[in-house]
Structure 1
Amino acid sequence: MIQKTAIIGMGALGLLYADIIASAKGPAGVSFVMDRERLEKYRGMVFDCNGQKKTFPMECCEDASPADLVIVAVKYNGLAAALDTMKNCVGKDTVILSVMNGISSEKIIGERYGHGRLIDTVAQGMDAMKFGSRLTYTKRGELRIGAEDESQEANLRLVAAYFDEIGMPYTVEKDILHRLWGKFMLNVGVNQTCMAYETNYGGALAEGSGANRTMLAAMREVIALANAEGIRLSEQDLDEYVDILKTLSPEGMPSMRQDAVSKRPTEVEMFAGTVIPMAGAHGIPVPANVFLYETIKKMEQAYT
């Protein structure tokens, strides 16, 4: 039974899930775990979660004890540090979920803490945005969870029961790798496009625009790559994810565009930076991703 959850990362998703858990289990049910420097900075901070003032328990990673569940909700460039931050939270029976974008975080975490304790997870359908201490969203989306093999099945059932208890929106996927690649396809398209074109969901969806053409081209390049990797993505998957985008606030923006607005390093290496070398190994041309990578790198250099 899951009673105590530790969250690593206090961005939009970290706050969103902390709010859901605390609302169901009380403040003892969840805590943010961080290094001492961050704890001194954020301790006692009052967050605005969709208009409601909230505070959450926080603890130093050096003083943390094993949790039943650890949710990793950091950006790609913070994952290496997060693996050290969470070490005292991981006990013999701890389950780990990564709600990070991309297709590599589970593998990286599994190499450190063991593949069997992971549950593959895709966070989708939310339009959460966080600037400073303010979290806003019109859709909180859902988590898609699944097991790659039998070693994860028991923990999958445990997490599903916990999500039922706390009212976490979720779906169990029979083919979680297909879902991981589908979400990756979406992120490669919309996250990078919104940053490169300095636009929002509405701009990326404007039919016939340069942003829309680039987004769809980048997504189709991921379809070709996934097929080469043995994952059967198709145009039907692309249409499904574009339909999800259409349910979000047109004024909303994905995490990469939020990073650019706040002048933070982005996750471009996890998106085009992953697609380009993998596609090269298969001899697949990916001009849209090359364009996005080069454009975003120049933008980052201009503000960092």
Structure 2
Amino acid sequence: MEIKKVVIVGRGALGILFGYHFTEKMGKSAVSFIASDDRIKKYNQEVSLCNGKVCDFSYISEDLKGEPADLVIFAVKSTRLEEALETAKNQIGDNTTIISVLNGISSEKIISDRYGKERIIHCVAQGMDAVKLGNDLSYSKMGELIVGIQSEDKQKRERLDSLCDFFEKVQLPYTREKDIIHRMWSKFMLNVGVNQVVMVNEGTYKTIQSPGEPRYMMIGAMREVVKLSEYEGANVTEKELQDYLSIVDSLDPENMPSMRQDGIEKRKSEVELFSGTVINLSKEHSVESPVNELLYKKIKEIESTY
């Protein structure tokens, strides 16, 4: 299962970040973005930058049939995942490994319903401070991919081994995680707090790095996820919440999370993925989530003006 051909679905911040890195390490012929013909035409008419360097990417049509990719990476917004599943269909074969760098805790289930859970390696993208405004991507921290499998079996372990070997080869920072579901919930907790609070305050990471109402609101939203994780068997703890606050405090104060970038560009955000998920799970488990309910309301009000 050696990975020699990589296809990326989605040319947002993380798509460009990983696409640029892989292209630099593997060469243009080994890494491609897949999209509709109309979207490819648009991409070819634009100049995209990654930390000031021009991105010379390869594109393939979603209609092209041929040898499937060894690795397919879904790097779209959750609002476009169903469309992306259709876009990628001609690149997914029996030996294709799939990872998702989407936020939240649901994309792997959605992808596996379409393409089978045997192809999925669970993944968390963490620690990057990438900001994409227009066609210009900048970042000071590349972060890492945290990967793992939910249950041990020979085929899944071989896929995970192959993926980690690939990351070693292309010098991509990564961690092989034993309890990947726990880690995904921990990252979900972080996103629920950081993304939403920075968006409603129209700020940057600086907004939540000092004591004050925004930081307290962020912590309150995160604690509601900690509570839900107990019911869902993921068991995120207060200690981990504090550890993630340390990560928040290490980020560039002038940068911002993806949700705030959506707000600046007047794009619909992933609010359903964050507070929407928290509210639905809270109803299932008969617990309260007042902070996330307030954030959901405020974000919907902002989006209604677009």
Normalization by structure 2: what TM-score?
Answer: 0.97
Contact 1:33 1:64 in 2 (8 A): no
Count of residues in correspondence between the two structures: 302
Deviations 1:52-101 (A, max 9, x none): 12210011110154100000000010001001000001011000000000
- The equivalent of 1:215 in structure 2 is 218
- The equivalent of 2:97 in structure 1 is 95
Out of 75, 78, 85, the position equivalent to 2:77 is 75
Give runs of aligned pairs for residues 1-304 of structure 1, distance below 5 A: 1-43=2-44, 45-65=46-66, 66-151=68-153, 152-207=156-211, 209-303=212-306
Give the C-alpha shift of residue 150 in structure 1.
2.2
Deviations 1:237-264 (A, max 9, x none): 1111111112210011000000000000
Contact 1:70 1:90 in 2 (8 A): yes
Unaligned runs of 5+ in 1: none
Contact 1:181 1:231 in 2 (8 A): yes
Q: Which amino acid aligns with 1:269?
A: E
Give, in whole Å, the separation in 2 of the partners of 1:273 and 1:183. 16
Give, in whole Å, the separation in 1 of the partners of 2:193 and 2:170. 32
Normalization by structure 1: what TM-score?
Answer: 0.98
Higher relative strand content? 1
Give the C-alpha shift of residue 45 in structure 1.
3.4
Give, in whole Å, the separation in 2 of the partners of 1:64 and 1:75. 25
Q: Which amino acid aligns with 2:120?
A: L
Give, in whole Å, the separation in 2 of the partners of 1:120 and 1:293. 27
Give, in whole Å, the separation in 1 of the partners of 2:51 and 2:41. 25
Give, in whole Å, the separation in 2 of the partners of 1:193 and 1:241. 15
Percent of aligned positions that are identical: 46
Give the C-alpha shift of residue 153 in structure 1.
1.4
Deviations 1:165-186 (A, max 9, x none): 0001000001000100000000
Q: Which amino acid aligns with 1:19?
A: Y
| TM-align CA RMSD | 0.9
Give, in whole Å, the separation in 1 of the partners of 2:5 and 2:231. 41
Q: Which amino acid aligns with 1:154?
A: E
